[in-house]
């Protein structure tokens, strides 16, 4: 079995708001629903602690060595989707219902691979990303797109 790498061993560490998972010992002490995907709420480097929030809103303070990155293409990563703005339809009749388009619930990588960028908008390159939090950083560096990741329940 391959050793799990902790976030403190990474070159590019996650920041507040990024998705991570936690080691098996910590899972036993933490309340969550369905899959162990957590959002970093607070990082205390001085005490080497990270506060994570589960998908049911439960916050837990853990040692940094218990926090693990989520690998791309893992079962956990495939439960994270791209949250993005879809252009609204325009209607000229104020009594008409405005048609809405709902984001499909699918793995964010599949969605990103299927988006067509036009004009001067550069495509998003996540080919060098090994972990989900690295994709989150790429998206943060492209604020004009209003893309972010969210966890699918």
Domain boundaries, the chain: 7-68, 77-151
Specify the DSSP element, H or E, that contains 87: none
The rounded distance, in Å, linking the Cα atoms of 95 and 26 is 54
pLDDT(8) > 50: yes
Predicted local distance difference test score (pLDDT) of residue 1: 41
Classify domain 7-68 at the CATH class level.
mainly beta
Output 130 or 114, whichever has higher pLDDT: 130
Predicted local distance difference test score (pLDDT) of residue 109: 94
pLDDT(144) > 90: no
On whether the CB atoms of residues 124 and 142 are closer than 8 A, the answer is: yes
Residue 109 contacts by C-beta under 8 Å, 6 or more apart in sequence? 72, 73, 77, 126, 135
121: tokens are 């908008």
- Report yes or no on whether pTM surpasses 0.85: no
């Amino acid at each position: 079995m391959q050793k799990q790498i902790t976030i403190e061993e990474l070159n590019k560490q996650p920041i507040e708001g990024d998705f991570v998972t936690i080691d098996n010992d910590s899972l036993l002490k933490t309340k969550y629903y369905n899959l162990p995907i957590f959002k970093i709420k607070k990082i205390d480097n001085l005490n080497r602690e990270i506060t994570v929030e589960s998908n049911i809103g439960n916050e837990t303070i853990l040692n940094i060595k218990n926090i693990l990155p989520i690998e791309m293409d893992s079962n956990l990563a495939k439960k994270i989707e791209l949250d993005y703005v879809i252009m609204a339809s325009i209607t000229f009749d104020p009594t008409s219902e405005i048609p809405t388009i709902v984001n499909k619930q699918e793995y964010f990588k599949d969605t990103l691979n299927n988006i067509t960028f036009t004009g001067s908008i550069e495509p998003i390159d996540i080919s060098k990303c090994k972990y989900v939090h690295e994709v989150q950083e790429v998206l943060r560096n492209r604020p004009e797109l209003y893309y972010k990741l969210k966890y699918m329940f």
